[in-house]
Amino acid sequence: MSTNTPLTQSKNPIRQVLGPIRGRLIIAALLASLGTMLTLVPLAGIAHIANILFANADTTKLTIGHIETEIWWTVIASVVCVFVGMALMLAGELTAHLADNRMTHYLRLAVIQRLAQVPLGWFTSRASGEVKQAMQDDIATLHSLAAHFYTAVGRASGALLVSVIYLFALDWRMAIIALLPLPGFLLFLRRAMQSSDVNMHEFVTRLERINSTTTEFVSGIPVVKAFGVNGQAHSNYQKAVDDFAQAFDRFTRPLVALMAHAHAMVTPVTVLGLALAVGTLFIAIGWMTPVEILPFVLVAPGICAPLLLLHTLLHDLGSAAGAAQRVLALLETPILEQPNHNQQQLPSGHEIRFESVSYAYSDSHRALSNINFTLKPGTVTAIVGPSGAGKSTLAKLLLRFFDPTQGCITLGGVDLRHLETSALYRHIGFVLQEVRLIHASIRDNIALGRPSASQQEIEDAARAANIHERILALPHGYSSVVGEDVQLSGGEQQRVSIARAILLDPPVLVLDEATAATDAGNEVAIQEALSRFTQGRTLLVIAHRLDTVKHADQILVLDNGTIIEQGSHQHLLAQRGLYTRLWTLGDYATITEPKVPSC
């Protein structure tokens, strides 16, 4: 299956996901079904042998040899059928697992290829959770569906089909009596499902509530212990627990009763007792002989297990449908538009322009509106404003974490949408508050943007970022694997990300207050590294402390997604507007930037 193969278009998510391997799964189910039918032949063989013995109880010695021969052939045929049936079931399981391996391999590659094209702004903590669930939990659920569901259905269906045909072929009256519990089982099962649907919404709502209150209670334990508000802290949690207990009782009480009745209808004891009771009656009135009842006593109780298995499989189908839906949703994540070969352009210089740029996360949430400014080569531009004003959103538009809703951003006269992503990041580097290091060596983390960089170039970048000595002190030096050999602090991770940017050597650099969340020692080291690295570059700085950007060439003041003031530090102070009020407050370091929502 090629990773470019489109999934079958269907409204049913399970059919859509399993479409490319449905033919193999059907073959697997047929093999399992036929194999199960053959493994049941010995039951018919036992009944046949009993019939031979009882029917020929008064035979002469002349026919004894013939009877023994027929019995031996029956035994041999039964044994052969068992082994052939087991081989067919094994072939079915192997076919299903190979098909599942093909499907999961394709899905994982398809998801990775899709995520490689989505906007970087999509990768929030929520999106990471969705990816983890789809790539691990949901694909594991689909593995059970592909590798086991079809063969299990084949085995259960085969056992039911061959048993019903065999019993009806022997005696239709007795077959109807022996299978009489099945309609009762289906009736109780239907009523149980209807009862479940009535109370399902309340049950799920109460369950979600108890999950959220549990999280709130656990996270608030330090405050509870510090301020002694036990009664208030416990009240919400206690109420959620009580409400869930009541909802659980209303949900399960009728369901358990109905399912108990349903399962009682198809237990082997019930079916066997019914077959013996009616069989005895038929013998008494001369309709059947004892030996003719034997096949029904042997085969009819065996129908119960595959019937209950089918019920369990149908129940599991709901969770598989949800898993398939989430995987498909991930495969349909909007991707970042890439220029085709004819649209690709090369920038002329490094001047950056925001031209009537607006951006909205949704119809009701407009983050930026009509932004216009220019980043001249070699100048420093600072973005300041209250929390939630849109500062980080503006910076991430320049990094093309997502595209503007309106307007355009140009680099050297070229719209960013007409630049390849690799070309964009050769011109624009960034050091953000939220550092991302991959599970690899520190050498690989620094050389992430330039895998071909030499060891000397990597070490020079680390020296410039004030992290070289710390790396040498590690047991494996630059070969130390992040997360295994070493746990770096936030400030150390920040310096590794600065070394990564230094190695790329971009002419334009975006800084989102790289020292906002570090301690004093790390802040000094990071500031020294940045001061050397930023010389002669075009800088866009997201500032949370005004004193760090008062020497910028231009300062843009954002409020509610619009630029309300623009100019130098002295010019803005003279205007006595929002910038002056923020400067007077002198408490800017306490304002934190909100996380950018998933777009």
Tens digits of residue pLDDT in 375-430: 998 888 889 888 888 888 888 888 888 889 899 999 988 888 888 877 888 888 88
Share of the chain above pLDDT 70, in %: 78
In the chain, count H helices and then E strands: 23, 10
Between CA 576 and CA 200 the distance in angstroms is: 59
**pLDDT interval class at 135 (50, 70, 90):** confident
pLDDT for the residue numbered 408? 92
**By the 8 A CB rule, do 427 and 506 touch?**
yes
What's the mean pLDDT in 4-21?
68
pLDDT for the residue numbered 219? 60
Contacts of 44 (CB under 8 A, 6+ apart): 166, 295, 299
pLDDT for the residue numbered 142? 85
pLDDT for the residue numbered 194? 66
Share of the chain above pLDDT 90, in %: 13
Amino acid letter for position 327: V
What's the mean pLDDT in 206-222?
66
On average, the pLDDT of the chain sits at 79
Between CA 305 and CA 163 the distance in angstroms is: 12
pLDDT tens string 46-70: 887 877 777 655 555 446 667 778 8
* Listed residue (392, 488, 495) closest to 439, CA to CA: 488
Amino acid letter for position 501: A
pLDDT for the residue numbered 341? 65
* Listed residue (426, 423, 407, 428) closest to 344, CA to CA: 423
**By the 8 A CB rule, do 115 and 3 touch?**
no
Task: Provide the 10 A C-beta neighbour count for residue 60.
Answer: 7
Would you say how long the chain is, in residues?
599
pLDDT at 91 over 70: yes
**By the 8 A CB rule, do 417 and 406 touch?**
no
Of 31-35, 249-253, 521-525, the one with minimum mean pLDDT is 521-525
Helix (H) or strand (E) holding 381: strand 380-384
Rounded to the nearest 10°, the torsion over CA 213, 215, 216, 221 is 120
Alpha-carbon distances of 304 from 43, 148, 157, 209, rounded to whole Å: 15, 20, 12, 39
pLDDT for the residue numbered 223? 56
Q: Are strands 508-512 and 352-362 parallel, antiparallel or unpaired?
A: unpaired
pLDDT for the residue numbered 29? 92
Q: What is the DSSP letter of 454?
A: -
Between CA 480 and CA 474 the distance in angstroms is: 7
pLDDT for the residue numbered 80? 93
Alpha-carbon distances of 152 from 100, 162, 305, 320, 541, rounded to whole Å: 14, 16, 12, 15, 61
Helix (H) or strand (E) holding 564: strand 562-567
Tokens encoding 416: 């960013």
Q: Are strands 508-512 and 538-542 parallel, antiparallel or unpaired?
A: parallel
pLDDT tens string 277-314: 888 888 888 888 888 888 888 888 878 777 777 777 76
Between CA 150 and CA 93 the distance in angstroms is: 9
pLDDT for the residue numbered 215? 64
Between CA 304 and CA 451 the distance in angstroms is: 62
β partners of residue 373: 354
**By the 8 A CB rule, do 393 and 403 touch?**
no
Q: Residue 539: left (phi > 0), alpha (psi -120 to 50), or beta? A: beta
pLDDT at 180 over 60: yes
What is the CATH code for 352-439+505-590?
3.40.50.300
Strand order of the sheet with strand 428-431? 428-431, 508-512, 538-542, 380-384, 554-559, 562-567
Q: How many CA atoms lie within 13 A of 37 on its CB side?
A: 15
pLDDT tens string 102-116: 988 888 888 888 887
* Listed residue (396, 347, 352, 359) closest to 373, CA to CA: 352
Task: Provide the 10 A C-beta neighbour count for residue 172.
Answer: 10
What's the mean pLDDT in 8-35?
83
pTM, two decimal places: 0.64
Rounded to the nearest 10°, the torsion over CA 409, 411, 413, 419 is -90
pLDDT at 583 over 60: yes
pLDDT at 198 over 80: no
Tokens encoding 31: 């093999």
pLDDT for the residue numbered 118? 77
β partners of residue 556: 383, 566
